[in-house]
């Protein structure tokens, strides 16, 4: 049967954070006839296998920490109350499904037509969508947005398919007893923290001697020492040569590795998680047919305005690999919709990619915006002044010294005006603390601006406006 042909103003390929934000803005605000295509679940990575289930699980892990701490406050509770992983997982799934439903509803409310299927570009203004039942639709669009996101990588190591990735983390129906994570980015660090607090023996394998290598050294050092204090086993300078099914224990694996202490060792585990990086989702997108250029990692090349090299085709979000965060994709998506459909007022609309704040949900939380100290020193040399503080939050007043978690802040300033070019914070409460400081720094705050605001007492945040 001949495929149905449709025409529209805006075809958005990818129903994740970036794609949907752009589609909804174009349709609802600018009345652009918009079609969105999603091949998996609405909401993309963030809703289904990223931010949302991550944060829910982090909340569960945070509760475990509080249970551990309650005894110091005088509560008669066993330090680790049993955790029903399966029932928690099902509740989390139900929550995500509700969100999938809400996303569909929102698209409807904003008059965006959406198709469930896999898109392939046919040319620079046409794409073929293969729907679930095998039927096809050809969409001809004035503008096309590629926001197909990415997926986690699995290494070529022998037996690597026996491990899971972050996607698989959210499928786990029961708590692993002994888990190894391989990777040194924020995903590995976040998941290692969660596994540990939810009650498993946790090993983290990193290639070098530090993790979070794009973060300020203060963060790297303090989180690593805190993780080790908590009991997470970190294998430095490590590599993995082979993964095999465990010869005796059914359902278990044997990992062959080397690290700074062991030339050739093995580890028995019931869960191995690769968090070694993500690749763009472009394989069958048909980029070559439209002539869209990619970089050496396969990511779609987009300029500051989200233009690709092909007129009428745009790209944003994880598939471009610029700053892989949901709110960045959303903001870029909205700016793009404004620029394409909002008329002359918005002809220069784009997202400013500088000073974007982000949080790592480790234990404790990490917040960061702007330059690291090394980056600042490289750019500004002697003009850099750094303010530091480390302290213990009042919450830990009840605990023994070895049970207290750290709190550390670093403010990186430049020039005689002491303009704040970087802020790095670590400790309980930092995840909610950073946003406001992000606004101030984006406004061009100086150290004096920070100091001019009266402190709020007693909080941890007040230490940021009383730095010496």
Enumerate residues 421-460 that contact another protein by CB under 8 A.
429-440, 442-443, 445, 449-450, 452-460
Return the number of the residue (310 or 413) whose C-beta is nearest another protein. 413
Q: Is 185 annotated as a binding residue?
A: yes
Decide if 412 contacts 370 (C-beta within 8 A). Answer: yes
Q: Residue 104 corresponds to which tokens in the numbers above? A: 């569909």
3-state secondary structure of 138: strand
Residues in 316-335 that interact with another protein by CB under 8 A: 325-328, 330-331
CB of 383 to another protein, least distance (A): 19
199 binds another protein (CB under 8 A): no
3-state secondary structure of 10: strand
Q: Is 396 annotated as a binding residue?
A: no
280 binds another protein (CB under 8 A): no
Return the number of the residue (43 or 286) whose C-beta is nearest another protein. 43
For residue 346, is it left (φ>0), alpha (ψ between -120 and 50) or beta?
alpha
Torsion angle in degrees (nearest 10) through CA of 318, 321, 327, 330? -60
- Vertex 105 angle, CA 100 and 108, to 5°: 130
Q: Residue 362 corresponds to which tokens in the numbers above? A: 């480790």
Task: List, edge to edge, every strand of the sheet that includes 271-274.
Answer: 233-235, 201-205, 178-182, 271-274
Q: Mask: binding to another protein, 28-57, rule CB under 8 A, as x and -?
A: ------------------x----xx--xx-
Return the number of the residue (76 or 264) whose C-beta is nearest another protein. 76
Q: Taking the CA atoms of 102, 106, 108 and 114 in sequence, report the sign of the dihedral they define.
A: negative
Applying CB under 8 A, the site for another protein has a residue count of 75
Q: Is 356 annotated as a binding residue?
A: no
Alpha-carbon span 459 to 96, nearest angstrom: 33
462 binds another protein (CB under 8 A): yes
Q: CB under 8 A: which stretch of 67-75, 111-119, 214-222, 271-279 binds another protein?
A: 67-75
CA 44 to chain centre: 12
CB of 322 to another protein, least distance (A): 12
Decide if 292 contacts 308 (C-beta within 8 A). Answer: yes
Alpha carbon of 347 to those of 159, 313, 341, 353: distances in Å?
51, 16, 9, 18
Residues in 345-404 that interact with another protein by CB under 8 A: 351-352, 355-359, 367, 394-395, 397-398
Beta bridge partners of 123: 126
168: CB partners within 8 A, 6+ apart: 273
Alpha-carbon span 280 to 300, nearest angstrom: 8
138 binds another protein (CB under 8 A): no
CB of 15 to another protein, least distance (A): 17
* Among the listed residues 82, 134, 251, 344, the single contact to another protein using CB under 8 A: 82
Alpha carbon of 449 to those of 31, 125, 286, 462: distances in Å?
42, 50, 51, 13
Return the number of the residue (166 or 238) whose C-beta is nearest another protein. 166
467 binds another protein (CB under 8 A): no
* Among the listed residues 4, 31, 77, 102, the single contact to another protein using CB under 8 A: 77
Return the number of the residue (259 or 318) whose C-beta is nearest another protein. 318
Q: CB under 8 A: which stretch of 30-38, 62-70, 283-291, 337-345 binds another protein?
A: 62-70
63 binds another protein (CB under 8 A): yes
* Among the listed residues 85, 252, 346, 387, the single contact to another protein using CB under 8 A: 85
Return the number of the residue (223 or 325) whose C-beta is nearest another protein. 325
* Residues involved in catalysis: 457
Alpha-carbon span 79 to 64, nearest angstrom: 9
CB of 323 to another protein, least distance (A): 9
115 binds another protein (CB under 8 A): no
219 binds another protein (CB under 8 A): no
Which residues belong to the annotated binding site for FAD?
Answer: 55, 318
Which residues belong to the annotated binding site for NAD(+)?
Answer: 183-190, 277
């Amino acid at each position: 049967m001949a495929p149905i042909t449709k025409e529209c103003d805006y075809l958005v390929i990818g129903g994740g954070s970036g794609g949907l934000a752009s589609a909804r803005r174009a349709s609802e605000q600018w009345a652009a006839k918009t079609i969105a295509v999603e091949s998996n679940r609405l909401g993309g990575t963030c809703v289904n296998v990223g931010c949302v289930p991550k944060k829910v699980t982090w909340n569960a892990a945070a509760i475990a920490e509080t249970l551990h701490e309650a005894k110091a406050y005088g509560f008669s509770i066993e330090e680790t109350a049993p955790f029903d992983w399966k029932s928690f997982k099902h509740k989390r799934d139900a929550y995500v499904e509700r969100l999938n439903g809400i996303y569909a509803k929102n698209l409807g409310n904003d008059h965006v037509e959406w198709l469930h299927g896999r898109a392939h570009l046919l040319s620079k203004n046409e794409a073929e969508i293969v729907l679930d039942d095998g039927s096809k639709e050809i969409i001809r669009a004035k503008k096309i947005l590629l926001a197909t996101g990415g997926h986690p990588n699995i290494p070529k190591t022998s037996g690597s398919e026996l491990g899971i990735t972050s996607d698989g983390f959210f499928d786990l129906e029961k708590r692993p007893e002994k888990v190894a994570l391989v990777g040194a980015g924020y995903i590995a660090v976040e998941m290692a923290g969660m596994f540990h607090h939810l009650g498993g023996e946790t090993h983290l394998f990193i290639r070098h001697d530090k993790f979070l290598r794009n973060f300020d050294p203060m963060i790297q050092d303090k989180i690593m020492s805190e993780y080790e204090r908590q009991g997470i086993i970190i294998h430095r300078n490590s590599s993995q040569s082979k993964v095999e099914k465990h010869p005796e224990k059914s359902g278990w694996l044997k990992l062959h590795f080397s690290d700074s202490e062991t030339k050739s060792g093995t580890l028995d585990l019931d869960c191995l998680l690769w968090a070694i990086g993500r690749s763009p989702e472009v394989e069958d997108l048909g980029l070559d047919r439209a002539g869209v250029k990619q970089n050496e990692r396969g990511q779609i090349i987009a300029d500051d305005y989200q233009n690709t090299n092909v007129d009428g085709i745009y790209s944003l979000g994880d598939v471009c690999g610029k700053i892989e965060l949901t709110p960045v994709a959303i903001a870029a998506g909205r700016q793009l919709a404004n620029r394409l459909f909002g008329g002359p007022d918005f002809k220069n609309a784009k997202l400013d990619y500088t000073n974007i704040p982000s949080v790592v949900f480790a234990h404790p939380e990490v917040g960061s915006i702007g330059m690291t100290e090394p980056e600042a020193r490289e750019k500004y040399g002697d003009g850099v002044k750094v303010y530091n503080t480390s302290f213990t939050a009042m919450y830990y007043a009840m605990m023994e010294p070895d049970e207290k978690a750290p709190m550390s802040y670093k403010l990186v300033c430049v020039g005689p005006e002491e303009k704040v070019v970087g802020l790095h914070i670590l400790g309980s409460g930092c995840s909610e603390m950073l946003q406001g400081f992000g606004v101030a720094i984006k406004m061009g705050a100086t150290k004096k601006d920070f100091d001019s605001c009266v402190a709020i007492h007693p909080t941890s945040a007040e230490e940021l406006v009383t730095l010496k």
